[in-house]
């Protein structure tokens, strides 16, 4: 039995293919790991930290800058304090998380003279602007997503009226007030494409005046497509990412539909050798909030574990 870990060069280790032979392979999805919005947020956050150091300026992050525990820990070690209450920031610099914040919170920071570093992903700003436009045109908003997610709360603040429904469930469309005649559909950037399409289809059957905006980011769609391909081929699949990350949990949900032996880990210490016992085709993917080099490191660690089992 040979161990082909596909770790000798970065090009070959990231693939959606396994060989047809009996070799043991560890294949990492080509786009697994941090998307450009997360990379951008981390870069802006680091710049804020570096700028504040010479002047001992306090640096805060309003909410988790990205939904990845390792990244948050790295920033905390540099003195960045993550806060959930805007009143906790009275001076210094505040980094607005990649998922965005409610409109009134940003306004409040500005009114108090707090220095703002806006790390909101540009693709998150898109549904914010669309929501504001739909409100000005008198549309009822159907926001497909998680009502408790910070991105969704931010989008709703830009919509600014109570004429909305936040849901993942197509059947909830029947609960829209009977007087509504025109509906605008916007999506949380990290939801499943299939869920959005089902809700769009139901609304199209019910309303003549419907405005549809697919605001799911390409990074999310691509990672979901790759996860499905790997899950169909792998004997076991590892998803690397924050357990509080929406896009990461969607990957787990998708993978489990095709490969029940799908496991979500935040840290390498969570890897269980029993998961790989007797497995030959091992797939790895990572959420859009997870640094790519960390996903690669997980692949390396799995290779060590598998080697010890042979």
User: Residues in the chain, how many?
Assistant: 310
User: Is 151 a residue of the active site?
Assistant: yes
CB of 241 within 8 A of CB of 68?
yes
Active-site choice (151, 192, 226, 266): 151
Active-site positions? Answer: 151
């Amino acid at each position: 039995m040979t161990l082909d870990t596909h770790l000798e060069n970065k090009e070959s280790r990231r693939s959606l293919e396994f060989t047809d032979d009996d070799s043991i392979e560890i294949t990492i999805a080509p786009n697994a790991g941090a998307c450009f919005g997360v990379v951008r947020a981390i870069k802006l956050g680091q710049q804020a930290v570096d700028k504040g150091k010479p002047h001992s300026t306090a640096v805060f992050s309003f909410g988790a800058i990205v939904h990845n525990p390792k990244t948050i820990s790295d920033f905390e070690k540099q003195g960045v304090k993550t806060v959930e209450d805007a009143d906790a920031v009275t001076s210094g610099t505040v980094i607005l998380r990649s998922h965005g914040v409610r409109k009134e919170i940003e306004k409040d920071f500005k009114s108090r003279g707090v220095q703002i570093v806006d790390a909101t992903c540009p693709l998150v700003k898109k549904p914010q602007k669309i929501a504001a436009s739909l409100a000005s045109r008198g549309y009822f908003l159907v926001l497909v997503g998680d009502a408790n997610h910070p991105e969704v709360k931010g989008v709703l603040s830009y919509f600014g009226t109570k004429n909305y429904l936040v849901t993942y469930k197509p059947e909830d469309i029947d609960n829209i007030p009977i007087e509504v005649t025109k509906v605008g559909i916007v999506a949380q950037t990290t939801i499943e494409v299939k869920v959005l399409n089902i809700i769009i289809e139901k609304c199209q059957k019910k309303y003549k005046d419907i405005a549809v905006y697919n605001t799911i980011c390409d990074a999310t769609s691509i990672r979901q497509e790759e996860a499905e391909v790997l899950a169909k081929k792998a004997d076991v699949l590892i998803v690397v990412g924050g357990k509080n990350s929406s896009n990461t949990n969607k990957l787990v949900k998708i993978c489990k539909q095709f490969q029940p032996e799908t496991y979500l880990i935040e840290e390498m210490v969570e890897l269980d050798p029993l998961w790989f016992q007797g497995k030959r085709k091992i797939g790895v993917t990572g959420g859009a909030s997870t640094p790519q080099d960390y996903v690669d490191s997980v692949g390396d660690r799995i290779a060590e574990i598998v080697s010890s089992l042979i």
